Structure 1
């Protein structure tokens, strides 16, 4: 089944005082790669979220944006270095007596210096919110997958249209082979007539013609190309990721077409070879977008 690697998926879920929104953006990539952007309290969930997404998506670079609304998701704790504060307080009291300071010591003396006080954010996430995040990411992934399937259906039609062009070109190449052989035989006989007159040895012509047919024989390439076309159609209906299979098959098709072009001594075949190479390049560009 053809599935695109690009797409977008968005899902929002609410539970109690929380609201979680997940947005997924997918682009082409050789392998399956994820990039998460979310509060650091949930960084430990990345491995689990990636595994869940990998059950649905096989290839592509997925950017995952997770945002929250509602109650405070992070708890803040005040940390005080009392031992250092005691030393600091004693120093101030001694300094008052030593230098006869008249100012009274207040809490402001401690608050101006953050070395005594530190507000730390808790790294522990609420279990209810954790479950909500996992569920929302999975739902967004399914939506992304639906979009990729829709784009994949369009790609499948695109491939089939261009495969029909390739098949039409190959049909013309098949038809041109006997004409090419006959044209070469006539040129050879004409050349022999000019060199040896009307009584030339036909065995020489047959020998030369046999050598030519051996060098210019493209029947095997035609058969393999025909087989590749059928295989391409078949792969389009396979389950799972098929992009790499199609990419490899396009390379094999190009190899056969190039061989036909190098062997053929026919304008008709050459024109069709050019058309097939152009069409294969169009298919190859879009195959890069298939999962």
Structure 2
């Protein structure tokens, strides 16, 4: 079943160390592009996030937004740089003596001086953090794929309906095509009689002229190729693999054939069918641009 490239998914998980919220949105794109936005301190895990998304999505522009909060209070230790604190105190005492001022400094003032106190946190284990991230990422990806599949079902039904309409028009073109030469002969013969009145018409010349017209205006080859493309298009719609590029290529080929038919067939009714087919193909092309 075909999938759309448009979708959204959200996942949330409270792990051993982190509470993670992931949102993923995707839009149509010619290739497969993954953009990850996550807290800077976890940038080393960005490639892992990108690889996971690429394993789930074959095509589209995918944006991953990840929010990471503490799930538990991390153990912290405050260290005192005794030597630095003492050095600060001696320097202040010396400065007080030089300036002949009273030294009035307390422990709070000393603690506020640069680097006297240092908060040490336990180094984070990125492997554990990744295990906290993965369930939320997987949940968001599942929701994204579900939406893409639902959108794909709608696109599939719409394309089948339009394909049915084009096949019906193709049938009308096949039915009308042989009649064009017959009508041309009748019109040419009638016109010659009007112009030449009592002069006998040379049947050999008339047959030759009709044959030349038939050769110039023949659309049989285009109709055969068009039927083949339509059949391939219907078959590809049933595949489970990404098919957007294949369908886009076939639509280009169908456009080429119908344009040739329009330029060769010297008939108003055929021209009307051509316009209708081109209109349906354009609508299909817009839909196919959003298929994975």
Shorter chain as denominator, the TM-score bin is 0.7 to 0.9
Structure 1 runs not aligned, ≥5 long = none
Q: Superposition pairs for residues 1-291 of structure 1, below 5 Å?
A: 1-16=1-16, 18-72=18-72, 89-107=89-107, 109=109, 114=114, 124-125=124-125, 127-196=127-196, 197-291=198-292
CA contact (8 A) 1:6 1:289 kept: yes
Does 105-114 or 139-148 show the bigger shift? Answer: 105-114
CA contact (8 A) 1:7 1:144 kept: yes
1:266–1:48: structure 2 CA closer, same or farther, 3 Å change rule? Answer: same
Can you list the C-alpha shifts for 1:174-211, whole angstroms capped at 9, x where unaligned?
11112221121122222333444441211111111111
Unaligned runs of 5+ in 2: none
SS in 2 for 1:34: strand
Q: Is the alpha carbon distance of 1:114 and 1:33 closer, same or farther for their aligned partners in structure 2, counting shifts above 3 Å?
A: farther
3-state SS of paired residue (2:25): strand
Q: After TM superposition, give the deviation of residue 16 of structure 1 in Å.
A: 4.3
Corresponding residue SS for 1:55: helix
SS at match of 1:66: strand
Question: Between Structure 1 and Structure 2, how many residues are aligned?
Answer: 291
Contact 1:181 1:213 in 2 (8 A): yes
Q: Helix, strand or coil: the match of 2:56?
A: coil
Q: Please give the alpha-carbon distance, in whole angstroms, between the structure 2 residues aligned to 1:118 and 1:29.
A: 49
Q: Which moved more, 1:215-224 or 1:89-98?
A: 89-98
In the alignment, the residues of structure 2 paired with residue 30 and residue 191 of structure 1 have an alpha-carbon distance, to the nearest angstrom, of: 55
- Normalised by the length of structure 2, the TM-score is 0.87
> Is contact 2:15–2:71 with CA below 8 Å preserved after alignment?
no
Q: What is the CA–CA distance in structure 1 between the aligned matches of 2:21 and 2:27, rounded to whole Å?
A: 20
Separation in structure 1 between the aligned mates of residue 82 and residue 248 of structure 2, nearest angstrom: 66
Question: How far does residue 142 in structure 1 lie from its aligned partner after superposition?
Answer: 2.2
User: What is the TM-score when the length of structure 1 is the normalising length?
Assistant: 0.87
Q: CA deviation at 1:221?
A: 0.7
For the structure 1 residues 229 and 121, does the alpha-carbon distance in structure 2 shift closer, same or farther, using more than 3 Å as the test? Answer: farther
- Residue 24 of structure 1 contacts residue 65 of structure 1 at CA under 8 Å; is this kept in 2? yes
**Root-mean-square deviation (CA), in Å?**
2.8
Q: Could you list the per-position Cα deviations for residues 10-59 of structure 1 after superposition, in whole angstroms to 9, with x for gaps in the alignment?
A: 22233446433322111111112222222223221121222222222101
| DSSP-derived class of the 2:214 partner | helix
